[in-house]
């Protein structure tokens, strides 16, 4: 291994991941991932849980997520390396089993999110072409994005930026429809305060927050491209928190527009709820044309989010392979494309297996809503990780301090910790069967951990090697 004390790291060195992501690209990377993950896929489920006031769930969810994002911003500017939350937990606790648990939990969440999004993609795709089986559409979709990621991170981020502009245009269409409807004097603003579900209104909102939190995920993915970002000390706090704030505002406005223009029952029963707003024919434009246009935009939006989740998965494996938590083969980088190709291929295969299993259960009469179930699994994993990341952030105060690092507000971090735990409790309480799926995904990580322990190299775990030490093969 190279001596990191005498071999300085340079951005021009091509022995590891390349620093090529600018602050602007990182902002749209965060914005695009957050925007595409829920507003196009799960808004109907949130409306069903809360009623016309479901915008409150999005507002509350993004607030808790933004506080958690500030913890990530502090940690990533202290440790601008790949692996994200897994690395931070390793730094704070030095426990290989705990680091393993966090690593595999985040991977499992990312796999579940990819599966949920791929299923949602197939639902929108059927609006354009109903002939291909949904499972086939989902599998081809995932395979295509694996190829894009293999080509390289810079190409993936540029593609992400372009798709972000497209998906934002779709949300602008929804907001314009809402404004047009209000201008016609037809809007009933009382709907925005209606929690029309039975039972405790507070619990109804909490149920909506638990579902909507899937839409807030994505910001943590940016931490896993830290080693590929130019000047991460300045770029990460601005891009991560700024991207989440903009996304949260858009969520609230779009939710209000949807609630004002379409009956909540219609939104709740639709697998493509935002499409119902377009189909309402409020704008003086051909409804058929607008429906097809918006469907294409929605497909691009979902593609955008799924692209980012697939970027993240192999980079988690790459970073933790260097910490001897998973087999070292995942640290391999392609000699010419500089992509962590082994982890990328493995990720694609796991997601494909998850999709096949889900569709098989549905076909067997299991009555499974795959989008909903995988979204819940994602939220359960991530909320547990987010709570631990906040604890880690507080524990690492006073360690490895850097004047350039961002510092999160401590009282807000405590509030964020309580918020994450409350939402986690309700998510499990509301859908206890999701724990079986969580266990199944964790089993994949157990296999990786056992393989590393039995066959892998036994490092000391005392230092994280520099990327200059990692040679692509």
Residue 467 lies in a domain: no
Residue 331 lies in a domain: yes
Q: What CATH number does residue 111 fall under? A: 1.20.1740.10
- How would you write the pLDDT of the chain (473 residues) with one tens digit per residue? 333 333 334 444 444 556 667 777 788 777 766 776 578 888 888 998 898 999 999 999 889 988 998 998 888 888 877 657 878 888 899 887 888 888 789 889 989 989 988 998 998 999 898 889 999 999 999 999 998 888 866 666 677 678 878 888 999 999 999 999 999 999 999 999 988 666 678 888 888 888 888 877 767 767 767 667 777 777 788 888 888 888 889 899 999 999 999 999 999 888 888 999 999 999 999 999 999 999 999 998 888 878 878 887 888 788 778 767 778 888 888 777 777 888 899 999 999 998 998 888 887 776 777 888 888 999 999 999 999 999 999 999 988 777 778 888 999 999 999 999 999 998 898 889 899 999 999 998 888 878 887 877 654 444 433 333 333 22
Residue 18 lies in a domain: no
Taking alpha carbons only, the member of 300, 304, 255, 281 closest to residue 61 is: 255
Residue 436 lies in a domain: yes
Number of structural domains (the chain) is 1
**Burial class for 175, CB neighbours closer than 10 Å (0-12, 13-18, 19+):** middle
Q: What angle do CA 31, 385, 167 make, to 5 degrees?
A: 15
Domain that holds residue 430: 23-452
Residue 195 lies in a domain: yes
Q: What is the pTM of this model?
A: 0.81
Token representation of residue 459: 């490092």
Residue 426 lies in a domain: yes
Asked if 196 and 264 count as a contact pair (C-beta separation under 8 A), the reply is: yes
Radius of gyration for the chain, computed over Cα atoms and rounded to the nearest angstrom: 22
Residue 457 lies in a domain: no
Residue 413 lies in a domain: yes
């Amino acid at each position: 291994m190279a001596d990191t004390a005498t071999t300085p790291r340079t951005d021009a060195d091509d022995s590891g991941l390349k620093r090529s992501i600018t602050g602007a690209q990182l902002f749209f990377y965060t914005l695009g991932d957050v925007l595409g993950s829920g507003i196009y896929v799960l808004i109907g489920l949130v409306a069903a849980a809360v009623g016309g006031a479901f915008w409150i769930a999005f507002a509350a969810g993004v607030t808790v997520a933004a506080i958690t994002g500030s913890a990530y911003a502090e940690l990533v500017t202290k440790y601008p390396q790949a692996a994200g939350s897994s690395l931070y937990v390793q730094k704070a606790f030095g426990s290989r089993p705990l680091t393993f648990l966090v690593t595999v939990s985040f991977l499992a969440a990312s796999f579940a999110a990819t599966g949920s999004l791929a299923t949602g993609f197939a639902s929108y795709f059927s609006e354009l072409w109903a002939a291909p089986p949904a499972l086939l559409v989902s599998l081809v979709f995932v395979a295509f994005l694996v190829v894009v990621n293999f080509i390289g991170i810079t190409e993936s981020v540029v593609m992400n930026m372009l798709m972000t502009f497209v998906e934002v245009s779709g949300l602008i269409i929804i907001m314009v429809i809402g404004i047009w409807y209000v201008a016609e004097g037809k809007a009933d603003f009382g709907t925005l305060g209606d929690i029309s579900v039975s039972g405790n209104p507070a619990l109804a909102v909490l149920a909506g927050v638990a579902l909507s939190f899937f839409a807030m995920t994505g910001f943590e993915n940016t931490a896993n491209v830290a080693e590929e970002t130019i000047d991460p000390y300045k770029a990460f706090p601005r891009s991560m928190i700024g991207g989440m704030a903009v996304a949260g505002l858009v969520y609230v406005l779009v939710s209000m527009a949807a609630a004002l223009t379409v009956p909540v029952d219609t939104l709740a029963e639709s697998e493509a709820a935002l499409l119902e707003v377009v189909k309402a024919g409020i704008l003086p434009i051909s409804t058929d044309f607008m429906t097809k246009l918006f469907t294409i935009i929605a497909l691009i939006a979902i593609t955008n989010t799924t692209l980012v989740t697939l970027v993240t998965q192999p980079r988690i494996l790459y970073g933790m392979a260097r910490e001897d938590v998973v087999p070292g083969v995942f640290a391999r980088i392609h000699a010419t494309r500089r992509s962590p190709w082994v982890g990328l291929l493995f990720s694609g295969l796991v997601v494909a297996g998850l999709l096949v299993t889900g569709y098989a259960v549905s076909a067997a009469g299991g009555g499974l809503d795959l989008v909903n179930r995988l979204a819940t699994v994602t939220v359960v994993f991530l909320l547990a990780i987010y709570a631990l990341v906040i604890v880690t952030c507080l524990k690492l105060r006073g360690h490895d301090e850097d004047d350039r690092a961002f510092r999160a507000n401590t009282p807000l971090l405590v509030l964020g910790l309580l918020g994450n735990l409350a939402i986690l409790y309700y998510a499990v309480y509301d859908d206890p069967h999701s724990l079986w799926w969580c266990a199944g995904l964790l089993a994949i990580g157990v296999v990786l951990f056992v393989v590393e322990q039995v066959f892998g190299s036994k490092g000391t775990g005392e230092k994280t090697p520099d990327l200059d030490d990692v040679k692509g093969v």
